[in-house]
Structures are given as structure tokens and as C-alpha cells.
Amino acid sequence: MHKPYRIGQIVPSSNTTMETEIPAMLTARQAIRPERFTFHSSRMRMKQVRKEELAAMDGESDRCAIELSDAKVDVLGYACLVAIMAMGLGYHRTSEQRLRKATADNDANAPVITSAGALIEGLNVMGAKRIAIVAPYMKPLTELVVNYIREEGFEVVDWRALEIPDNLEVARHDPANLPAIVAGMNLEGVDVIVLSACVQMQSLPVVAMVEAQTGKPVLTAAIATTYAMLKALDLEPIVPGAGALLSGAY
């Protein structure tokens, strides 16, 4: 029997969702595939979703990568999309390279996935051109995220900022509210709906519902991160009940 794959996550200190949704998806996969997973985290201080606090938090990511590499994890996921996108256009590439070097320098070289980079990769894999986005952030931060994604080559047809500044409150947002939010958006010509451009805002329970409601594929930051992790581990990127990207169609 193959040893379990060790999944490392670099997590904001106030995040309570990434360590729920990622394990939920990979545990669901265990029902249909033989691979097994264990989950390990290191935390960066952050309570309010503000640009200054996000930048300070990002400065702790190197320490977290080194700590996780002490455990010889097989892949690392940086679990804060907005922190990466608020640092400047294309920053996910810089972050992934720097953090991977930190693991290599610690004699534990492992691929690093950022949720920001994973979302971009997922949209490309799905062939998306025109998208709609739901995000929990305040409008100025959401505009940064929208612009970041546009600069990666996507047309953002419509977007919603839920304007929740406290990160714990983001996690408490009821995912059952999301279908109605999406129903009020302009989805004309949209290829993919990004139901949660945030790994802290819960969305997994309603992904299938929104896909059925709209007839369009749905992606979230957590789903995209799971896909990217499985690809980095050279495992089949399939998870039951986790939306189009993990359906086995790609």
C-alpha cells in the first residue's frame, strides 16, 4: 500500500474553511480512488481582510513553507487568494517560485500551489473566456481581484462583492445565500461562474445546485486548489460532487 500523500496548507490564522473543504474533497475522492491523504497546516496571522494586513501576512508565508517542509509534505497549498492578488499582477508566480525554493533549501523540495494561481489555471483548463465572480471582500479589494483576473486574459462579465471585512464572518456566510446572489447576476455569454473567489467563503455545499440552476460550470478557489494539488501529485483530478473541473471531464 502506498504511503498517504501529505497535504500541506499555508493558512491565514483566522481561516476555518480551507481545512474543511480541501479535506472534504480529498476524503470524498478516497471513496472512488485508492490514494489516501493526511492534512497538515501552518498559520499566518490575519484577522481583517485589509490590504495592509494581507501584505503583512504574506510576509510570514516563507516561515510556513519551511515549517511544512519539515514534515516532508508532498504538496503545499497557499490558502489565501486575495493576499496573493493584492500584492500585484502576476504575483502568484513569484510566490510559488519563492516558496518552493524555501522548501528546496530545507532539503524537502515540494510543489507549491497558490489558490490564486490555481484559480487562473482552472479557468484555463476549462477553456473559459467570459466569467462571473462572487467574492466576499470589500469593493476595493474585489476590484483588485477582478483586475488581476482580467490581466490574466479573462473577460469578467459581472461580479459581486459581499463586503465582509472580518475574516471569521466570511467563513460564517451561509453558502445557501449564494444561489440567489448568482440568480441576480448577468450571466449572458458566461462560460464559467466563479462561485467563491475566496478559500474562506464556504461554497462547496451549493456548487451542484448552482450548476443545475444556471446550466453553467461552476468553479471555486477551493475546487481549483484541489485540482492543482492532484495534478502536482500526478494523480487523476477527479472528486465526486465537486463541480465540473473535478468531474473527470478535464
Binding-site residues from annotation for substrate: 15, 80-82, 137, 167, 199-200
pLDDT in tens, 37-62: 999 999 988 777 777 777 787 888 99
Torsion of CA 87, 90, 93, 98, to 10 degrees: -30
Q: From CA 209, how far away is CA 215, in angstroms rounded?
A: 10
pLDDT in tens, 75-102: 999 988 888 888 899 989 999 999 999 9
The pLDDT score that the predictor gives to residue 231 is 97
pLDDT in tens, 204-241: 999 999 999 999 999 999 999 999 999 999 999 999 99
What's the whole-number mean pLDDT along residues 63-83? 92
The pLDDT score that the predictor gives to residue 86 is 85
> Crossing angle for the helix pair 221-232 and 18-29, nearest 10 degrees?
50
Phi, psi of 154 (to 5 degrees): -110, 145
**Residue positions annotated with a catalytic role:** 80, 198
pLDDT at 194 over 90: yes
Alpha helices in 187-235 (DSSP H): 207-214, 221-232
Residue 6, Cβ neighbours under 10 Å: how many? 17
Q: Is 31 exposed, middle or buried, given 0-12, 13-18 or 19+ CB atoms closer than 10 A?
A: exposed
Binding-site residues from annotation: 15, 80-82, 137, 167, 199-200
Q: From CA 169, how far away is CA 81, in angstroms rounded?
A: 17
Look up residue 2 and give its DSSP letter: P
Instruction: Evaluate whether 158 touches 183 at the Cβ level (below 8 Å).
Output: no
pLDDT at 66 over 80: yes
Look up residue 3 and give its DSSP letter: P
The pLDDT score that the predictor gives to residue 1 is 56
